[in-house]
Amino acid sequence: MNFEKLLETKEYEFLKTDSHLGEKIILLGLGGSYAYGTNIETSDVDIRGIALNSKSDLIGMSNFEQRVNESTDTTIYAFNKIIGLLLNTNPNTIEMLGLKQGHYLFLSPIGQELLDNKKLFLSKRCIYSFGGYANQQLRRLQNAIARDTLTQTERETHILNTIKNMMFDIKSRYEQFENGSIKLYIDKAIQEDIDTEIFMDINLTHYPLRDYKSIWSEMNNVVKDYSKIGKRNNKKDELHLNKHCMHLIRLYMMCLDILEKEEINTYRDKEHDLLMSIRNGEYMHENGTMRQEFWDLLNEYEKKFEYAKENTSLPDNPDYKNVEEFVMSVNERVIKDEI
């Protein structure tokens, strides 16, 4: 497919006419299945990009964070917004810094500067961001196809792991509290109809009630979401399940590259055949449940992930100082009308 020619069609005119985009765009690239190399004939084309904030955004009264065009599956992030997401190693955005060379459809000099500085954003935060996304995928998968085969204790373990990964992000969004002030763990159940359940020890003083209410709500939503029973009545559902399985493994692959090699590799060339075999249903029984080979594969990647996160040489946090200098340099040039 000629993606450059696709961008010249009428459907993508907004990239040129939107006042927040146009010449402010510094990067355009492929997203989704095409970016991973796992696309099929019916795959949609997703476009992801970054546009500089305008002078009025930076020192005036206008505001721009992102533009989403649903009809073309296009999302363009503002420069300042993408920096925050990259600092947290957000999987949906950090992959923009590791595309296959031919998958960058437009790259300005500033866009290239961002790619040249991509290692500044890498840190152990990827353990929690990628781990959280992987657990979401696993939860969706198990909701749909493994509800009756999981033991109650296994379900509790997966709920707990999801919440623990979520807590890392929660701490960055709500009033700070000391590590250990909220402790989550599994123990013998008090409720009579289950064997084990999740407990929490809380030690908070002078803590904002509204923040606590929001944190509790997010944890409660995980539990409720996990309790939903998926229904598999048609082939379309199975195709979605296989796609979830594929992305679960792909997330581990990408995070392992970050932890072990300090590299962002979005396009999965070496693992292409494995990922496509999962997507094409080779790891699924005819009754819509996953074969033991898939769970063995998942277990293997989970073990690799556990080892890598304990032995990575990445710092705990990204290089804030140099990221800030880069951001100030770019925004200063915008304010001076140098770019």
Residues of the chain below pLDDT 50: 146, 148, 179, 229-233
Please report how the helices 292-311 and 125-145 are oriented relative to each other, as an axis angle in degrees rounded to 10.
170
Q: Which residue has the tokens 């993408």?
A: 82
Q: Where are the domains of the chain?
A: 3-120+318-335, 125-311
Q: What is the pLDDT of residue 227?
A: 64
Q: What is the pLDDT of residue 149?
A: 55
CATH class name, domain 3-120+318-335: alpha beta
Give the pair of three-digit tokens for residue 291. Answer: 């074969």
Q: What is the pLDDT of residue 287?
A: 73
Q: What is the pLDDT of residue 220?
A: 85
pTM for the full model?
A: 0.75
Report the C-alpha gap between 45 and 73 in whole angstroms. Answer: 7
100-109: pLDDT as tens digits: 999 999 999 9
24-75: pLDDT as tens digits: 999 999 999 999 999 998 899 999 999 999 999 999 999 999 999 999 999 9
140-152: pLDDT as tens digits: 676 565 454 567 7
User: Which residues have CB under 8 Å from 4's CB, separation 6+?
Assistant: 105
CB 122 within 8 A of CB 86: no
User: Which residues have CB under 8 Å from 312's CB, separation 6+?
Assistant: 124, 259, 260
37: left (phi over 0), alpha (psi -120 to 50) or beta: left
